[in-house]
């Protein structure tokens, strides 16, 4: 289990996706994008817009049950991507590399990019934006919800001793 947590806001995610797209423009053009679900869907949509790419596939790889890791299971194949030649793979995070290895095995000729990379998974990606410590659990905007917090003046004062 992670020791630390890092929260990524919608604004930060959007900025990082655009930064990644800017770097990917130097590498492309790409025939299409394969978004790794679920985390890669939103970054892939932002990057597809920035790269003006209309062919978007998805590949569903299940490796987590909450925070517990399990063997990767591909539950949706990216049929249009073939062996990945000319395709860009987008994911939100490469962690231990379990998902990345499964994706790379299925799409060996694709270019793999993600927003965030941990040291164990970093060697499996071709491009990423931010390195994150291995013991950090990243909380993405779709994992959290904004909650109303009352002003400090509205909180009850602690009882006097």
**What is the Cα–Cα distance from 34 to 74, expressed in whole angstroms?**
13
Q: Given the residues 95, 126, 135, 143, select the one marked as catalytic.
A: 95
Whether 91 is a known active-site residue: answer: yes
Residue in the block written with tokens 């001793």: 161
**Quick one: 4 exposed, middle or buried, by C-beta within 10 A (0-12, 13-18, 19+)?**
exposed
First to last CA, the chain: 39
Q: Of residues 52, 65, 92, 126, which has the active-site annotation?
A: 92
Distance of CA 127 to the CA centre of its chain: 12
Residues 96 and 120: their CA atoms lie apart, in Å, by 5
Catalytic member of 68, 91, 135, 143: 91
The strand pairing partners of 7, in sequence order, are: 139
The residues carrying an active-site annotation are: 91-92, 95
């Amino acid at each position: 289990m992670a020791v630390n947590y890092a929260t990524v806001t919608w604004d930060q995610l959007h900025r990082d996706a655009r930064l990644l797209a800017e770097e990917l423009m130097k590498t492309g053009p790409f025939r299409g994008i394969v978004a790794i679900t679920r985390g890669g869907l939103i970054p892939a949509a932002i990057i597809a817009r920035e790269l003006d790419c209309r062919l978007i596939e998805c590949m569903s790889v299940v490796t987590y049950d909450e925070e517990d890791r399990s063997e990767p299971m591909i539950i949706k194949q990216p049929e249009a991507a073939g062996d990945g030649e000319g395709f860009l793979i987008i994911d939100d995070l490469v962690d231990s590399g379990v998902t990345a290895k499964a994706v790379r095995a299925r799409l060996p000729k694709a270019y793999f990019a993600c927003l965030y990379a941990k040291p164990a998974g970093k060697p499996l990606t071709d491009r990423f934006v931010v390195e994150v410590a291995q013991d950090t659990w990243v909380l993405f905007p779709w994992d959290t919800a904004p909650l109303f917090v009352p002003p400090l003046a509205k909180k009850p004062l602690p009882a006097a001793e």
